Amino acid sequence: MAASFLAMASIHAASDAELVLAENGTCDRQIVIPDKAESEIVEQWLLMTAKLMEATFEKNGFEVDVVKESAKQTDKPGIYLGATKFAAQNGVTVDPSDLWAYRIKAVGRDLVISGNDNQDPIKTIQRLKTPLAMLGTVKGACDFLRAYAGVRFLFVNMSQSQYASSGDGLGILDKDGSLKIDTRSVAFTPVRKIAVPADIDLKKTPMMRANYDNAYETFYYIANNFFPPLSFVEGSEILWGWSSWRKNMPKATRSISPYSRTGNAPLSCRSRPASGPFPTA
């Protein structure tokens, strides 16, 4: 009887074990990104994601550094993002055929978030040279921040320059090293502790659907699986943008675009089946 009780207590304790990343105003780890990524756009997105994670920790009073893998301090555990050597050495990989797939795994005192990150070979953002990409690590990091760090991705501003790298993928940081992109649409709800299950090994292939072709990618869209904002359903189609604005807003306000200070309407598009890098299941 006593042995049975002890066994049950041991199982319960094991299930409650946590890998604490930050607590009581203290964080002893670094956010680690690869020395070199698959492409420039992936490299930019991993840096933006690391900076968003840094901002999340700092909003809750935890100091944490973002470093490249070769500069990581050996005496500090890490939160590894992307295809780092550490992830490969510890077998934290995903099936390359599962687009947008990611894996979150605890390795001792370290945490790895790694996914399929690849530049789209053809498509770019509308009217820009910036390529689209499959960003499994970014999706995994967004899900981690939402589940364990109190982050909420609330809405999207239609200005590309405020949310992702523009042009050829440069200019994402201010001179002080902080994110240049606008994070006002992100809610950093207060948390006293950031922790994950000590035995976490989450593998996920999220359902991602593009709300329009050759669009652009933001933390909001990635966190919310690319489902359309400000939309309504008409028959079997989802309408968004100016058509949705006219349908949902009073006549007195319809002449003002929700996306532009000048009042010019954005393009009206009907959603299409996912194509290119966006799988539907």
Please, what is the angle between helix 40-59 and helix 136-148, to 10°? 10
d(Cα 46, Cα 42) in Å, to the nearest integer? Answer: 6
With vertex at residue 98, the alpha carbon angle to CA 169 and CA 31, rounded to the nearest 5 degrees, is 50
Dump pLDDT digits (tens) for 208-241.
Answer: 765 444 466 788 888 988 765 544 444 444 444 4
Mean pLDDT, residues 145-156 taken together: 90
**What's the domain range around 213?**
17-227
d(Cα 125, Cα 266) in Å, to the nearest integer? Answer: 15
Residues 214, 117 share a domain: yes
Phi and psi torsions of 53, nearest 5°: -65, -40
The residue among 128 and 278 whose pLDDT is bigger is 128
**Is 281 among the domain residues?**
no
d(Cα 125, Cα 72) in Å, to the nearest integer? Answer: 34
- pLDDT above 90: percentage of residues in the chain: 44
- The answer to whether the beta carbons of residues 140 and 114 sit under 8 Å apart is yes
CA dihedral 194, 148, 44, 120 (to 10 degrees): 160
Residues 264, 212 share a domain: no
Tell me: pLDDT of 78 over 60.
Answer: yes
Q: What is the mean pLDDT of the chain?
A: 75
- Residue found by looking up tokens 């010019």 in the block: 264
Among the three residues 191, 208, 227, which one is the final residue of a domain in this structure? 227
Dump pLDDT digits (tens) for 189-215.
Answer: 999 999 999 999 999 999 876 544 446
Joined together, the tokens standing for residue 158 give 């239609």
Tell me: pLDDT of 167 over 50.
Answer: no
Dump pLDDT digits (tens) for 132-145.
Answer: 888 999 999 999 99
**Is 2 among the domain residues?**
no
Q: Give the three-class secondary structure for 68.
A: strand
Residues 237, 223 share a domain: no
Residues 65, 199 share a domain: yes
**Is 6 among the domain residues?**
no
Ramachandran area for residue 221 (φ above 0: left; ψ -120 to 50: alpha; else beta): alpha
Residue 217: predicted pLDDT: 78
**Is 223 among the domain residues?**
yes
The residue among 17 and 272 whose pLDDT is bigger is 17
Residue 41: predicted pLDDT: 84
Residue 2: predicted pLDDT: 53
Residues 152, 49 share a domain: yes
d(Cα 228, Cα 176) in Å, to the nearest integer? Answer: 34
